[in-house]
Amino acid sequence: MTKNTLILIIDDDNRNIFALKMVLKSKGFDCIAANSVTEGITLLEQHPETALILMDMMMPEMDGYEGINVITHHEKIKKLPVIAVTAQAMLGDKEKCLAAGATDYISKPIDIDKLLYSIAKILNDRT
């Protein structure tokens, strides 16, 4: 994991985006954010250096499950790792997220240490 690694946050709640950006920036990551999957894909096309996506699973219009499906079938970005982020945290959610194509799963409220560990593991596994 290198400094200035770019992470895309896709979440329909600006408070969540703000909080995640603050924590990740304090740890040396660069962040961009989108309020929808469609906006996120546009940002990914503009920022091919993006290393990882944090995807909120419960969003209007297109939820995270549909979003992961779109991303994993998009030729230019299909190999990007996605960490599913959900507030639901019900039994079977983790398995459902991983089955949808997520690389990992984090429940809200986010345990920052777990998130950072997951990011480090995913990025280290890719190098």
pLDDT tens, residue by residue, 31-59: 999 999 999 999 999 999 999 999 999 88
Extract the tokens encoding 39. Answer: 């906006």
pTM for the complete prediction?
A: 0.92
User: Which among 22, 86, 14, 90 has a CA at the least distance from the CA of 57?
Assistant: 86
Exposed, middle or buried: residue 57 (CB in 10 Å: 0-12, 13-18, 19+)?
Answer: buried
d(CA 49, CA 66): 23
d(CA 92, CA 76): 30
Q: Where are the domains of the chain?
A: 6-126
6-126: which CATH topology? Rossmann fold (3.40.50)
User: Which among 37, 117, 106 has a CA at the least distance from the CA of 77?
Assistant: 37
